[in-house]
Protein backbone atom coordinates (compact mmCIF):
# COMPACT_ATOMS: atom_id res chain seq x y z
CA UNK A 1 0.00 0.00 0.00
CA UNK A 2 1.24 3.54 -0.74
CA UNK A 3 -0.15 6.97 0.01
CA UNK A 4 0.26 9.57 -2.74
CA UNK A 5 0.56 13.30 -2.55
CA UNK A 6 -2.77 14.90 -3.44
CA UNK A 7 -3.39 14.89 -7.19
CA UNK A 8 -0.58 12.48 -8.11
CA UNK A 9 -1.38 9.09 -9.63
CA UNK A 10 0.63 6.05 -8.53
CA UNK A 11 3.01 6.28 -11.49
CA UNK A 12 3.97 9.89 -10.85
CA UNK A 13 4.10 9.33 -7.08
CA UNK A 14 6.52 6.43 -7.56
CA UNK A 15 8.65 8.55 -9.90
CA UNK A 16 8.73 11.38 -7.36
CA UNK A 17 9.98 8.99 -4.67
CA UNK A 18 12.51 7.35 -7.00
CA UNK A 19 14.24 10.61 -7.92
CA UNK A 20 13.95 12.51 -4.62
CA UNK A 21 13.50 10.35 -1.53
CA UNK A 22 16.55 9.53 0.61
CA UNK A 23 15.02 7.56 3.45
CA UNK A 24 17.03 5.82 6.19
CA UNK A 25 16.37 2.09 6.45
CA UNK A 26 14.99 2.55 9.97
CA UNK A 27 12.36 4.95 8.63
CA UNK A 28 11.52 2.77 5.66
CA UNK A 29 10.94 -0.21 7.93
CA UNK A 30 8.65 1.80 10.21
CA UNK A 31 6.76 3.23 7.24
CA UNK A 32 6.20 -0.22 5.75
CA UNK A 33 4.98 -1.56 9.09
CA UNK A 34 2.64 1.40 9.48
CA UNK A 35 1.22 1.05 5.97
CA UNK A 36 0.02 -2.45 6.90
CA UNK A 37 -2.18 -1.02 9.68
CA UNK A 38 -5.90 -0.24 9.20
CA UNK A 39 -5.21 3.42 10.12
CA UNK A 40 -2.26 3.74 7.73
CA UNK A 41 -3.68 6.94 6.22
CA UNK A 42 -2.65 8.80 9.39
CA UNK A 43 1.05 8.60 8.51
CA UNK A 44 2.67 11.63 6.91
CA UNK A 45 3.97 10.96 3.41
CA UNK A 46 7.76 10.45 3.18
CA UNK A 47 8.28 13.24 0.64
CA UNK A 48 6.44 15.61 2.95
CA UNK A 49 8.55 14.64 5.96
CA UNK A 50 11.71 15.03 3.88
CA UNK A 51 10.61 18.59 3.07
CA UNK A 52 10.08 19.26 6.78
CA UNK A 53 13.55 17.91 7.52
CA UNK A 54 15.07 20.31 5.00
CA UNK A 55 13.15 23.28 6.41
CA UNK A 56 13.99 22.46 10.02
CA UNK A 57 17.67 22.08 9.11
CA UNK A 58 17.54 25.59 7.65
CA UNK A 59 16.19 26.75 11.02
CA UNK A 60 19.12 25.02 12.76
CA UNK A 61 16.40 23.45 14.88
CA UNK A 62 17.32 22.11 18.30
CA UNK A 63 13.89 21.92 19.96
CA UNK A 64 10.72 20.70 18.27
CA UNK A 65 7.10 19.95 19.12
CA UNK A 66 4.90 17.32 17.51
CA UNK A 67 1.14 17.30 18.09
CA UNK A 68 -0.03 13.85 16.97
CA UNK A 69 2.74 11.24 16.82
CA UNK A 70 0.94 8.06 15.65
CA UNK A 71 3.63 5.38 15.06
CA UNK A 72 6.49 7.87 15.25
CA UNK A 73 7.57 8.05 11.60
CA UNK A 74 7.97 11.83 11.45
CA UNK A 75 9.78 12.15 14.77
CA UNK A 76 12.09 9.27 13.84
CA UNK A 77 12.97 10.85 10.49
CA UNK A 78 13.59 14.26 12.04
CA UNK A 79 15.72 13.09 14.96
CA UNK A 80 17.80 10.84 12.72
CA UNK A 81 18.29 13.69 10.26
CA UNK A 82 19.14 16.34 12.89
CA UNK A 83 21.41 14.76 15.53
CA UNK A 84 21.13 17.74 17.90
CA UNK A 85 17.32 17.79 17.81
CA UNK A 86 15.23 17.11 20.92
CA UNK A 87 11.47 16.70 20.51
CA UNK A 88 8.40 16.79 22.72
CA UNK A 89 5.71 14.55 21.19
CA UNK A 90 2.01 14.57 22.13
CA UNK A 91 -0.40 11.71 21.52
CA UNK A 92 -3.27 9.89 23.23
CA UNK A 93 -2.71 6.36 21.88
CA UNK A 94 -0.64 3.90 23.87
CA UNK A 95 -1.13 1.31 21.12
CA UNK A 96 0.34 3.33 18.27
CA UNK A 97 3.05 5.04 20.31
CA UNK A 98 4.26 1.65 21.55
CA UNK A 99 5.29 1.01 17.94
CA UNK A 100 6.96 4.42 17.92
CA UNK A 101 8.90 3.70 21.11
CA UNK A 102 10.18 0.39 19.72
CA UNK A 103 11.54 2.03 16.58
CA UNK A 104 12.96 5.06 18.43
CA UNK A 105 14.84 2.70 20.73
CA UNK A 106 16.10 0.55 17.87
CA UNK A 107 17.42 3.68 16.11
CA UNK A 108 18.88 5.00 19.39
CA UNK A 109 17.02 8.32 19.27
CA UNK A 110 14.63 7.62 22.15
CA UNK A 111 16.71 9.66 24.62
CA UNK A 112 15.97 12.76 22.53
CA UNK A 113 12.20 12.23 22.33
CA UNK A 114 9.93 13.13 25.24
CA UNK A 115 6.58 11.41 24.64
CA UNK A 116 3.66 12.96 26.50
CA UNK A 117 0.57 10.70 26.55
CA UNK A 118 -2.71 12.54 27.07
CA UNK A 119 -4.84 15.24 25.43
CA UNK A 120 -2.44 17.41 23.44
CA UNK A 121 -3.98 20.74 24.42
CA UNK A 122 -3.41 19.89 28.08
CA UNK A 123 0.23 19.07 27.34
CA UNK A 124 0.73 22.32 25.42
CA UNK A 125 -0.88 24.36 28.18
CA UNK A 126 1.33 22.65 30.74
CA UNK A 127 4.42 23.60 28.72
CA UNK A 128 3.19 27.20 28.61
CA UNK A 129 2.60 27.15 32.37
CA UNK A 130 6.17 25.89 32.81
CA UNK A 131 7.46 28.99 31.02
CA UNK A 132 8.41 27.31 27.75
CA UNK A 133 7.14 30.19 25.59
CA UNK A 134 9.43 30.88 22.60
CA UNK A 135 11.42 27.79 23.53
CA UNK A 136 10.85 25.71 20.40
CA UNK A 137 12.09 26.12 16.84
CA UNK A 138 9.10 24.42 15.25
CA UNK A 139 5.81 22.66 15.88
CA UNK A 140 4.25 20.04 13.60
CA UNK A 141 0.49 19.54 14.00
CA UNK A 142 -1.05 16.32 12.68
CA UNK A 143 -3.82 15.40 15.11
CA UNK A 144 -7.60 15.70 15.54
CA UNK A 145 -8.80 18.31 13.08
CA UNK A 146 -11.36 19.93 15.35
CA UNK A 147 -8.52 20.82 17.71
CA UNK A 148 -6.33 22.53 15.12
CA UNK A 149 -7.13 26.14 15.96
CA UNK A 150 -6.37 25.65 19.64
CA UNK A 151 -3.17 23.80 18.80
CA UNK A 152 -2.04 26.61 16.52
CA UNK A 153 -2.68 29.26 19.16
CA UNK A 154 -0.74 27.31 21.79
CA UNK A 155 2.11 26.47 19.41
CA UNK A 156 2.44 30.12 18.38
CA UNK A 157 3.16 30.86 22.03
CA UNK A 158 5.67 28.05 22.34
CA UNK A 159 7.55 28.54 19.07
CA UNK A 160 10.15 31.31 18.84
CA UNK A 161 10.00 34.25 16.46
CA UNK A 162 11.22 33.09 13.05
CA UNK A 163 10.23 29.52 13.85
CA UNK A 164 7.70 27.39 11.97
CA UNK A 165 4.27 26.05 12.89
CA UNK A 166 3.22 23.42 10.36
CA UNK A 167 -0.25 21.90 9.86
CA UNK A 168 -0.86 18.64 8.01
CA UNK A 169 -4.01 17.52 6.11
CA UNK A 170 -5.24 21.05 5.38
CA UNK A 171 -6.65 20.04 1.96
CA UNK A 172 -8.26 16.87 3.39
CA UNK A 173 -8.31 14.91 0.15
CA UNK A 174 -9.93 17.87 -1.59
CA UNK A 175 -12.98 17.83 0.67
CA UNK A 176 -12.37 21.37 1.91
CA UNK A 177 -13.29 22.64 -1.57
CA UNK A 178 -16.48 20.58 -1.75
CA UNK A 179 -19.34 22.67 -0.37
CA UNK A 180 -21.52 19.55 -0.13
CA UNK A 181 -19.14 17.93 2.35
CA UNK A 182 -20.13 19.03 5.85
CA UNK A 183 -18.31 16.42 7.89
CA UNK A 184 -17.15 17.86 11.22
CA UNK A 185 -13.45 17.48 10.37
CA UNK A 186 -13.95 19.06 6.94
CA UNK A 187 -15.78 22.03 8.45
CA UNK A 188 -13.07 22.44 11.09
CA UNK A 189 -10.33 22.46 8.48
CA UNK A 190 -12.21 24.94 6.28
CA UNK A 191 -12.64 27.23 9.26
CA UNK A 192 -9.01 27.02 10.35
CA UNK A 193 -7.80 27.63 6.79
CA UNK A 194 -9.99 30.74 6.56
CA UNK A 195 -8.89 31.91 10.00
CA UNK A 196 -5.19 31.46 9.20
CA UNK A 197 -5.59 33.39 5.95
CA UNK A 198 -7.20 36.26 7.87
CA UNK A 199 -4.43 36.24 10.52
CA UNK A 200 -1.63 36.46 7.95
CA UNK A 201 0.47 38.43 7.31
CA UNK A 202 -0.05 40.27 10.59
CA UNK A 203 1.06 37.41 12.87
CA UNK A 204 2.94 35.11 10.52
CA UNK A 205 3.96 34.42 6.93
CA UNK A 206 1.77 31.70 5.39
CA UNK A 207 2.23 29.21 2.58
CA UNK A 208 -0.12 26.32 1.78
CA UNK A 209 1.80 23.65 -0.13
CA UNK A 210 -0.07 20.88 -2.04
CA UNK A 211 2.22 18.08 -0.91
CA UNK A 212 0.96 15.01 0.93
CA UNK A 213 -2.60 15.90 1.95
CA UNK A 214 -1.87 19.63 2.02
CA UNK A 215 0.68 21.30 4.26
CA UNK A 216 0.37 24.80 5.71
CA UNK A 217 3.58 26.52 6.81
CA UNK A 218 3.45 29.44 9.22
CA UNK A 219 6.59 31.45 9.95
CA UNK A 220 6.05 33.28 13.22
CA UNK A 221 6.79 37.01 13.27
| Model confidence pLDDT, tens digit, residues 200-213 | 999 999 999 999 99
Asked whether the bond before 201 is cis by omega within 30 degrees of 0, the reply is yes
From residue 43, alpha-carbon distances to 32, 115, 154 in Å are: 11, 17, 23
- Residue 98: which residues within 8 A CB-CB, separation 6 or more? none
Dist CA 92 CA 96 (whole Å): 9
Q: Taking the CB of residue 77, how many other CB atoms lie within 10 A of it? A: 24
Query: What residues in the chain have per-residue pLDDT under 50?
Result: 1-2
Give all domains of the chain, ordered by start, each with its CATH number.
10-220 (3.40.50.150)
Q: Supply the pLDDT for residue 7.
A: 82
What's this model's pTM, rounded to 2 decimal places? Answer: 0.96
Is the CB of residue 69 less than 8 Å from the CB of residue 42?
Answer: no
Dist CA 118 CA 15 (whole Å): 39
Amino acid sequence: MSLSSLGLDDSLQNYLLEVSLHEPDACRQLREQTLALPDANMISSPEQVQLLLLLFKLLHARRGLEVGTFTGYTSLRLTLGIPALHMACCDISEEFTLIARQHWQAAEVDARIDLQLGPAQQTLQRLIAQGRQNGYDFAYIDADKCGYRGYVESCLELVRSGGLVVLDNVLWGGSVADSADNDADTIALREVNTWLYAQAPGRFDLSLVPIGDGLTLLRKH
